Structure 1
């Protein structure tokens, strides 16, 4: 008869940080791009046709960059189980939800009111951005209301979906960049498909995570019930 050997605590701690580290790594590209945009705005870079909208109305893009960066980093850390069991999780959440709302609503504003480049923008892409911005905001509100009711499972599910949408700019690097390197710069229609694929991939992974988490909770509850009976 063999005896199962539990992994050492240090190995478990290292493993639990794989997901947060991967998510932060995926967030680096949009965060670096955002930092570059802020540098342009604060140092008086040359105004061109591509960046004129940001100089004409800088507040929405600044709110979007700051809100998105906070949301992506703090959201990634929430995937570490040890942090979720500590008071830090609740404190960070009080920053995370407003940051996510700032990201979603500023993104909605920019989609509606910025003159976006026609070379990479289609009505379909604008519609997708509007729907996802509203969905992300609704998910954050739903997560807040759920935790106020003490419904941790729904809170976790809605926050995971909101994070999946917010991380779209990171995953879109993985869908747009390979195409660009192999085929060349995508046209508006292909660009729309590649951008949508990034969000779709994130949301699909989010649903897998949510379902696995729910199954794990059910198994744990069943084990506790069997132990008590």
Structure 2
């Protein structure tokens, strides 16, 4: 039974990789722009003035998005012959990468000049979701130190959902582009925020499904068994 179901697990990382191709290609274009001597425009001037944060963000987000997709394959979590599992080994890369994604994103939000196309609403949303991702990573790291694997997985799933919002956002932004033209500043901000909310909703669904599939001995609290009395 398990051998026939296992290949179906690959649709999850495959879908996540396809979703992440959009921001990764955009990030590669930005790196080429910064390193190839492109013309400075009002839209990219802030990146040329301080390129380090955006380069760190792009590199860490690429690693986090692609490697993180494979963490959702159950077989990768199982140790092999006493050795650490893929999940454990890659986790040592993903946690620092996730922190770099969140911190560099917050840094750019706080210290880069706000482009006219973004607006105050998007500025606030980026602060809220960037801080939430950072908090989820901290809570996940604390849970793994306490060996609370269920809690660790839940927090890390939520953090990943926020990080891959960059892949969902262009899909939502295409809707007004195809129907009524480019969205205004407020509509654009709300669509970007909606992408984060949708991703977190999917993450919560996956977390709840995972908890339902846990063995009863891991989900039910232990109770003291009454002592059997013997007849005098």
Q: TM-score, normalised by structure 1?
A: 0.90
Indicate which of 69, 77, 94 corresponds to 2:92.
94
Aligned residues: 216
User: What is the distance in 1 between the residues matched to 2:87 and 2:207?
Assistant: 18
1:167 aligned residue? 164
Tell me what 2:124 maps to: 127
- Deviation, structure 1 residue 122: 2.0
Map of 1:62 onto structure 2: 55
Equivalent in the alignment of 2:176? 179
Question: Who wins on radius of gyration, i.e. which is larger?
Answer: 2
Task: Tell me, yes or no, if structure 1 residue 34 matches structure 2 residue 34.
Answer: no
Deviation at 1:218, TM superposition (A): 4.7
CA distance in 2, matches of 1:15, 1:34: 30
Matched, 1:201 2:198: yes
Counterpart check, 1:22 vs 2:22:
no
Alpha-carbon distance change, 122 to 221 in structure 1, aligned in 2, over 3 angstroms: same
Q: List structure 1 segments (4+ residues) > 4 angstroms apart after TM superposition.
A: 218-223
Deviates further, 162-171 or 131-140: 131-140
What is the CA RMSD across the aligned residues, in angstroms? Answer: 1.7
Distance in 2 of aligned mates of 1:69 and 1:18: 19
Matched, 1:48 2:48: no
Look up the match of 1:113. Answer: 111
- Structure 2 residues not aligned, in runs of 5+: 80-84, 223-232
Partner Cα separation in structure 1 for residue 152 and residue 9 of structure 2:
21
Q: 1:48 deviation in Å?
A: 0.9
2:230 corresponds to which residue?
A: none
Secondary structure, aligned partner of 2:58: helix
**Cα distance in structure 2, aligned partners of 1:110 and 1:156:** 28
The alpha-carbon deviation at position 219 of structure 1 amounts to 4.6
Comparing both structures, which one devotes a greater share of its residues to helix?
A: 1
Residue 145 (str. 1) matches residue 133 (str. 2): no
Shift of 1:99: 0.5
